[in-house]
Chains A and B, each alone.
Chain A
């Protein structure tokens, strides 16, 4: 895991002090809200529906046990005893008080954490594959590259006032587990003629205008990564629209210019502006990679234990994966138990998990963009013991990748921009579909829910997407089908008129029945059936006879 340099530490400390001073000036009236708002947003502090909300960065979703313990402490001391993991692998605290925020930031800095660039029109937290460095199908670990980009982009003077926010994801496998293709820039490590470099995608995104990113470069040499990113960002900074917030994202620029024209401009900038100092040499790459070595795992032949306990066996089947080192497993911790707000975790759970990660997983925890957690290196011989511990904490729900593992944004219960609630919808779904065997029959199925068109709940790329709408003061829910955030990414199609909350579960059931009756073999998943039969079949069953 990356450790802060002295320079990193001093940057964070001085920013924390600076913000303390700004808060003080706000509280005593020297700064108006208009003046203070951009300053607080630069430090991840929003004012939401009921209270302030602080978003803390978790670079590429990686946490140490001491960081998780600190988050538990903050939740307990300064908030209401819980936190919420987001779809950018960050954590949000929903109830901090303004005078406490500098103290929170100070506490975070003690464990090398902060809230910088979690808001505003800058380069946000770099996200990555939650299985980075531990899965067999990887070309190379993407985390060091995320770190290199994080260091380059933090406080980058030219990219602190972009036309809009900017999101980058890096993955190291063919499989996309980070929704890379719906990012402003997506980078995939690939191998060409024995050399590892990047495939570069640009202009993906969700929100009001969902678009799958286009490939802009087939192969980018590692040494050129930062110069090429600068060239893209410079092109966006020069050409991107600032007159209309809805047209300001890079995806609109790429769409309007066309990928070929955009590529030409980027290539020109790359030639013109490339800076020797930004070329990454092998020594610096190796230095960053040295932070991301595996802990001392001892390959062994232990298999995951089988027990008579049905519940345990279900959990093992659904929530564990093989590690690249034999004798170890990757364990998913679902934050989606029935009736639970997706991604929420209590301070007690965080505190206990921190200890569990020390006992079972070399003090490492990861956050997935699907709002779950991972213990990355658990010895197979300890899996049953671990399950017992997780179960005591209500953290052993066996539903990873199943229908009740919904992604869900905070919606109108928290968010000032929402048009409808989303958490109660996800609770209804997780409650309705809580039987493991029923969920298994449905197989891999991603339901994603957003409380407004900003799509923080990724509904556009849900196999079933649900978007909350306001229809004359009433909550209605629009359903999209066939979205995917994986390597075969696609934007879901709107199935038809929206449903009131009272009819939504029935509508989902009808959709699932259409899937079941069209399924050709047991293993054919929802998305494959949808892509084979098309939306008409689903429309017919949903709306004919109504």
Chain B
């Protein structure tokens, strides 16, 4: 996964295996709150990939991915922004 990444800073995201909810890796574990997410430098990606693999095996999360951040350390792509903040319209 690390080889395909572009960008310098990331946060690690996944879906909670049981609920499907979008979660982010924080210092205290997985949280739905992206503002608490640990910021990961490109050269730390392998280390965090291992954490993600471990937690996938433990059946905590599924479908993990590194989310690229922009120069202001905000989520860069629209898809990831929507994943983080939810639907862009009212139901």
Contact = CB atoms under 8 A, between A and B. Distances in A.
Contacts of B20: 47, 50-52, 95-98
Contact of B91 (A50, A82, A473): A82
Please report whether the interface of chain B is mostly helix, strand, loop or mixed according to DSSP.
Answer: loop
A423 to B, nearest CB: 6
A413 B79 contact: no
Contacts of A475: 78
Nearest to A28: B59
A115 to B, nearest CB: 16
Contacts of A423: 89
Interface size class of A (residues with CB under 8 A): 20 to 34
B72 interface: no
Contacts of B79: 49, 412, 418
Contacts of A412: 78-79, 82
Contacts of B83: 49-50
A13 to B, nearest CB: 25
A33 B22 contact: no
Interface string A15-27: 0000000000011
Interface string B1-42: 000000000000001011111100000000000000000000
Given A47-B63, A473-B78, A424 B89 contact: yes
Among A50, A95, A99, A341, the one with the most B-chain Cβ atoms within 10 Å of its Cβ is A50
A321 to B, nearest CB: 30
B74 interface: no
B15 A47 contact: yes
A27 B18 CA distance: 7
B62 interface: yes
Contacts of A424: 88-89
A96 B21 CA distance: 10
Contacts of A341: 89, 91
A348 to B, nearest CB: 13
Interface residues of B, number: 25
Contacts of B15: 47, 51
Interface in A43-101: 47, 49-52, 80, 82, 95-99
A344 interface: yes
A434 interface: no
A157 interface: no
Interface string A409-421: 0001110001001
Contact of A33 (B18, B58, B62, B82): B62
A431 to B, nearest CB: 11
B88 A98 contact: no
B77 interface: yes
Contact of A49 (B59, B76, B82): B82
Interface string A456-477: 0000000000000010010100
Interface string A284-316: 000000000000000000000000000000000
23 contacts: A27-B18, A29-B58, A47-B15, A49-B79, A50-B21, A50-B22, A51-B19, A51-B22, A80-B91, A95-B20, A98-B17, A98-B18, A98-B19, A98-B20, A341-B89, A413-B82, A413-B88, A413-B89, A414-B87, A421-B82, A424-B88, A427-B89, A473-B78
Interface of A: 26-29, 33, 47, 49-52, 80, 82, 95-99, 339, 341, 344, 412-414, 418, 421, 423-424, 427, 470, 473, 475
The 5 closest A-B pairs by CB, nearest first: A51-B20, A52-B20, A29-B59, A97-B19, A413-B87
Interface of B: 15, 17-22, 56-59, 62-63, 76-79, 82-83, 86-91
